[in-house]
Amino acid sequence: KAGVTQTPRYLIKTRGQQVTLSCSPISGHRSVSWYQQTPGQGLQFLFEYFSETQRNKGNFPGRFSGRQFSNSRSEMNVSTLELGDSALYLCASSLRGNYGYTFGSGTRLTVV
C-alpha cells in the first residue's frame, strides 16, 4: 500500500510570508501527527489530528496551525515565517493514534 505522502518535498519562502504543507496519510489511517526537525532542537511534536479534530498540541506559537479533512488528509500552515522556521517538517500517520506511526519523507522548508 502507498505510504505517507508529503508535498512539496522542498520549499523556499521569504521571511514574513506564509506557507501550507500537505500530508496524505496511509489509506485507512485516521490519525495524523506533525513534527518539526531542526539540527538544534531535534524532532519536536507540533500537533495531532484524529477524525478532523485536533487532539494534542506541542509547544509552538500560534503561527503554526493545522487541519484535517474528512478524507484524513492534513495540512499545516505557518504564517509570518521567521528564519528559525527553516526545518524539515515531518508528517506521520497511524490507524487510531496508537503507536504504529509511519512517517513521510518530509518537506524541507527554507526561509530566506
Among 1, 60, 42, 49, which residue's Cα sits nearest to residue 23?
Answer: 49
Query: Which residues, 60 to 89, sit near other proteins by CB under 8 A?
Result: none
User: Which amino acid, one-letter code, is at 87?
Assistant: A
Find out whether 23 and 94 touch, Cβ atoms under 8 Å: no
Does 96 sit near other proteins (CB under 8 A)?
yes
CA 2 to chain centre: 18
Span near other proteins by CB under 8 A; candidates 13-21, 61-69, 78-86, 99-107:
99-107
Tell me how many residues contact other proteins (CB under 8 A).
Answer: 30
Give the nearest distance from C-beta 112 to other proteins in angstroms: 20
Find out whether 74 and 67 touch, Cβ atoms under 8 Å: yes
Span near other proteins by CB under 8 A; candidates 11-19, 31-39, 62-70, 76-84:
31-39
Among 92, 90, 75, which residue's Cα sits nearest to residue 18?
Answer: 75
Which triple of cell numbers denotes residue 40?
538544534
Does 56 sit near other proteins (CB under 8 A)?
yes
Query: Footprint of other proteins on this chain (CB under 8 A)?
Result: 4, 31-33, 35, 42-45, 47-50, 55-56, 58, 90, 92, 94, 96-106
